[in-house]
């Protein structure tokens, strides 16, 4: 197996960081292909915790090459801080390559993200306020600044002055905010360009060469399928394609190069930000899962909304991504709960909906149809094989497989790399 894509199967924060880190042990290259520093992975290595937002977690292995590909939007200040943080902790970052075609998150994007959210009032999206949406908007509007532009002073000045003409007009006239100074931004981003220059290349060439050589290449998705701009709960979504197809465009490889796609799902569901969430819990069980699972955002620290596992969401994810299997994380968080619920369908008045609705307004009115299963009372954190799990935990896993139609290939029962039950070779 040469090219494997890992995607979030729910609304992000599924524990992809741990699964990717686990697989990165066998990978020759790890590629980020969408999103930006709205994402956040926490990886625990020998009791040392690493928080990463842009750099692929493969960087924590001494021989793995890492790529931030064209589909990512990069805030250069954040990336340089992250590189310094890794270097201070003894990590060699010279194995990282950044796409010349990746778009740059500019300070006006971050400011516009906040102003837009403020203006939406009770219709706000709950974005991470990292400027991600406005940066992708500029990419689509063809007024974005790409990493390559930072390396060419005349090009940078030209593109920046065109962009500022429009941004300053919006900032001052629509929002009464202060304009940005061309000279100040030009100097700052030229300096960022010089600092990033050793890492910049056309990464599509590098990734394709690696695949063609038979290297094991892991594509690390950020966010989750339900936040995909086309296939998620629009408009409560991010502005990129966290689903598997996004890997092809975002890394510059043909879809035929992808061998397998695995989805990562928590044993329950969480969501940060606004938008529909049919299995959301508003009771003590929700609070208990939030506290036990430390369900607070890596990037923003926001408490995550918590709910039961939703098989309707997972079936949608299996279809959109063509999943080969699922990795189920945080099963240990459910230890000691007397019963567990799984949504198997939704009900809208008298109608039963087996598939995930395609509009936010239908979603708002549905209620989940639950199947109730008995829980287990022994802690499972030390378990390393499926047959050593309590019978009810095994039944929970089997039932999920039946409901979503793909095998569960990996089960995570704790934060450390070792707290993992592997059922299948993933590469």
Count Cα neighbours of 97 within 13 Å in the Cβ-side half-sphere.
Answer: 19
Binding flag, residue 238, ligand IMP (CB under 6 A) = yes
d(CA 412, CA 269) in angstroms, rounded, equals 15
Does 12 sit near ligand IMP (CB under 6 A)? yes
Stretch that binds ligand IMP, among 84-92, 124-132, 146-154, 364-372 (CB under 6 A): 124-132
24, 30, 39, 251: which one binds ligand IMP (CB under 6 A): 39
Q: For 146-215, give the DSSP string.
A: BGGGGG-HHHHHHHHHHHHHHHHHIIIIIT-PPPPPHHHHHHHHHHHHHHHGGGEE-HHHHHHHHHHHT-
Considering only 23, 55, 217, 227, the residue that binds ligand IMP (CB under 6 A) is 227
Contact between 272 and ligand IMP per CB under 6 A: yes
Q: Which residues contact 253 (CB under 8 A, 6 or more apart)?
A: 3, 204, 207, 208, 211, 247
Q: How many CB atoms lie within 10 A of CB 364?
A: 11
Q: Is 109 in the site for ligand IMP (CB under 6 A)?
A: no
Instruction: Answer yes or no whether residue 269 interacts with ligand IMP by CB under 6 A.
Output: no
Residue 133, interface with ligand IMP (CB under 6 A)? yes
| 13 contacts ligand IMP (rule: CB under 6 A) | yes
Distance of CA 141 to the CA centre of its chain: 24
Among 34, 99, 127, 329, binds ligand IMP (CB under 6 A): 127
Q: Which is nearer to ligand IMP, 38 or 269 (CB)?
A: 38
**From the candidates 21, 28, 33, 41, which is the catalytic residue?**
41
Q: Which of residues 170-199 bind ligand IMP (CB under 6 A)?
A: none
Q: 238 near 35, Cβ under 8 Å?
A: yes
Query: Of these, 38, 70, 321, 412, which contacts ligand IMP (CB under 6 A)?
Result: 38
What's the start-to-end Cα distance of the chain, in Å? 5
Stretch that binds ligand IMP, among 211-219, 234-242, 322-330, 343-351 (CB under 6 A): 234-242
Secondary structure class of 217 (helix, strand, coil): strand
Catalytic status, residue 41: yes
Q: How many whole angstroms separate alpha carbon 92 and alpha carbon 270?
A: 34
Among 44, 80, 93, 125, which residue interacts with ligand IMP (rule: CB under 6 A)? 125
| Residues of this chain, 321-380, that bind ligand IMP according to CB under 6 A | none
13 a catalytic residue: yes
Alpha-carbon distance of 45 to 86, in angstroms, equals 13
Binding site for ligand IMP (CB under 6 A): 12-13, 38-40, 125-128, 130, 132-133, 222-223, 227, 236, 238-239, 272-273
């Amino acid at each position: 197996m040469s090219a494997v894509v890992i995607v979030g199967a729910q609304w992000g924060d599924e524990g992809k960081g741990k699964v990717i880190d686990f697989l990165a042990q066998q990978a020759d290259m790890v590629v980020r292909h969408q999103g930006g520093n709205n994402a956040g992975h926490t990886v625990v290595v020998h009791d040392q915790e690493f928080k990463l937002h842009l750099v692929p977690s493969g960087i924590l292995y001494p021989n793995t090459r890492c790529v931030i590909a064209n589909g990512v939007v990069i805030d250069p200040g954040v990336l340089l801080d992250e590189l310094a943080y890794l270097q201070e902790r003894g990590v060699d970052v010279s194995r990282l390559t950044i796409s010349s075609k990746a778009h740059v998150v500019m300070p006006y994007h971050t400011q516009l993200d906040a102003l837009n959210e403020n203006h939406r009032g009770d219709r706000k999206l709950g974005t991470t306020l990292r400027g991600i949406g406005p940066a992708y908007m500029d990419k689509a509007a063809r007024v974005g600044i790409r990493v390559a532009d930072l390396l060419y002073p005349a090009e940078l000045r030209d593109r920046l002055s065109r962009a500022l003409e429009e941004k300053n007009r919006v900032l001052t006239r629509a929002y009464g905010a202060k304009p940005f100074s061309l000279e100040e931004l030009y100097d700052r981003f030229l300096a960022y360009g010089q600092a990033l220059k050793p890492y910049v290349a056309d990464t599509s060439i590098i990734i394709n060469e690696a695949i063609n050589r038979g290297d094991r290449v892991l594509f690390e998705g950020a966010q989750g399928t339900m936040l995909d701009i086309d296939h998620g709960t629009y408009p409560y979504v991010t502005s990129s394609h966290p689903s598997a197809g996004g890997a092809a465009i975002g890394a510059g490889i043909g879809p035929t190069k992808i061998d397998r796609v695995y989805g990562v799902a928590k044993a329950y569901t969480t969501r940060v930000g606004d938008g529909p969430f049919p299995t959301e819990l508003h009771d003590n069980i929700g609070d208990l899962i939030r506290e036990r699972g430390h369900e607070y955002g890596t990037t923003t620290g926001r408490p995550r909304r918590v709910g039961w596992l939703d098989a309707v969401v997972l079936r949608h994810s299996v279809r959109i991504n063509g999943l080969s299997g699922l990795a189920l994380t945080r099963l240990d968080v459910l230890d000691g709960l007397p019963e567990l619920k799984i949504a198997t369908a939704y009900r809208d008045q008298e109608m039963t909906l087996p598939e995930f609705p395609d509009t936010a307004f239908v979603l708002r009115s549905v209620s989940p149809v639950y199947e109730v299963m008995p829980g287990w009372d022994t802690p499972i954190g030390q378990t390393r094989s499926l047959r050593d799990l309590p019978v009810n935990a095994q039944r929970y896993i089997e039932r999920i497989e039946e409901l979503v139609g793909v095998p569960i290939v990996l089960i995570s029962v704790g934060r450390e790399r070792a707290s993992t039950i592997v059922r299948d070779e993933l590469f």
